[in-house]
């Protein structure tokens, strides 16, 4: 192929790609803007989950008329949530749950193609959410979170989180919270690196009455018997207990003027 033929082919490819992208962009719904939901009188829960109990958690939260849910699915979670049983539904079925307003995937961050001045998805999700529930939070996600890495949509939301409550003060009455339901192999959980990262989540960032500046609540893994008298620690807290924690927190928010 001579130079002119190569140039023509390259130009044609670029031209068709541009037309295709514009056509695809025209079929995508308008960008999500958090401020449009400021006065909906709901507590906004952003649910990031990679568990077969995702539908159970979403349905249970949505039974509360005070809660609005949006679901965030990372690429690893998407691979995990392949429909192999009724507990692993396709994403469209999750949208059928009354109260689930939208589902976001990693690629939605740049779809449609971002232009200067347009809203940025992870920023808008941060503005929208009163609660971010990560269930489960893996050892990998915890490690990235505590080191400020933001290489997917979930971690970008966390990295942009208003940890002081000052940035989003214009349309939120109080600081938003992150709930992290830990789940990992017991050897990972007992690893010294995990101990250091938990110290950050609990002692430095953890919310408590003695540390009102905190913005993270760690939902510890449960202990399960592994035979004899040994206990395995690392499995995620039962999904019903997680829902109860969130419901109780929401009840406290609703009662406040």
pLDDT digits (tens, 9 = 90+) for 153-207: 999 999 999 999 999 988 788 899 999 999 998 889 999 999 999 999 999 999 9
Burial class (CB within 10 angstroms; exposed 0-12, middle 13-18, buried 19+) of 242: buried
Whole-number pLDDT of residue 169: 84
Q: Which residue has the tokens 């214009």?
A: 170
Whole-number pLDDT of residue 85: 55
| Packing angle of the helix pair 239-255, 54-62 (nearest 10 deg) | 30
Whole-number pLDDT of residue 104: 94
Whole-number pLDDT of residue 21: 40
- Poorest-pLDDT segment among 3-17, 46-60, 115-129: 3-17
Collapsing DSSP to helix, strand or coil, 257 comes out as coil
Distance CA 64, CA 56 (A): 13
The predicted model gives 15-41 an average pLDDT of: 61
Question: Which of 115, 51, 55 lies closest to 78 in space, CA to CA?
Answer: 51
pLDDT at 13 over 50: no
| Mean pLDDT, the chain, whole residue set | 83
Residue ranges in the chain assigned as alpha helix (H):
3-26, 54-62, 75-80, 91-94, 121-128, 139-146, 153-159, 186-189, 192-199, 239-255
Whole-number pLDDT of residue 76: 77
Token readout for 36 is 């449009």
Q: In CATH, which superfamily holds the domain spanning 32-255?
A: Flavin prenyltransferase-like (3.40.50.1950)
Token readout for 82 is 């392949």
pLDDT at 90 over 80: no
Q: How many CB atoms lie within 10 A of CB 248?
A: 9
Whole-number pLDDT of residue 116: 80
- Poorest-pLDDT segment among 112-116, 133-137, 156-160, 177-181: 112-116
């Amino acid at each position: 192929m001579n130079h002119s033929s190569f140039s023509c082919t390259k130009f044609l490819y670029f031209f068709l790609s541009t037309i295709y992208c514009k056509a695809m962009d025209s079929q995508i719904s308008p960008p999500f803007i958090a401020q449009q939901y400021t006065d909906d009188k709901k507590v906004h829960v952003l649910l990031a989950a990679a568990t077969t109990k995702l539908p159970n958690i979403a349905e249970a939260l949505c039974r509360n008329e005070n809660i609005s849910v949006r679901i965030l699915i990372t690429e690893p979670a998407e691979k995990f949530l392949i429909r192999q049983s009724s507990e692993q539904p396709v994403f469209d079925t999750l949208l059928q749950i009354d109260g689930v307003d939208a589902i976001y995937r990693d690629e939605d961050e740049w779809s449609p193609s971002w232009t200067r001045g347009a809203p940025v998805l992870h920023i808008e999700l941060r503005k929208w959410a009163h609660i971010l529930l990560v269930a489960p939070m893996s050892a990998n996600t915890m490690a990235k979170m505590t080191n400020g890495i933001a290489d997917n949509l979930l971690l970008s939301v966390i990295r942009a989180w208003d940890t002081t409550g000052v940035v989003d003060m214009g349309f939120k009455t109080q600081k938003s919270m992150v709930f992290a339901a830990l789940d990992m192999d017991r050897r990972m959980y007992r690893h010294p690196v995990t101990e250091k990262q938990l110290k950050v989540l609990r002692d430095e960032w953890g919310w408590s009455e003695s540390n009102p500046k905190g913005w993270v609540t760690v939902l510890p893994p449960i202990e399960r018997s592994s035979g004899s008298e040994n206990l395995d620690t690392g499995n995620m807290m039962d999904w019903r207990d997680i829902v109860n924690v969130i419901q109780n927190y929401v009840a406290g928010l609703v009662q406040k003027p």
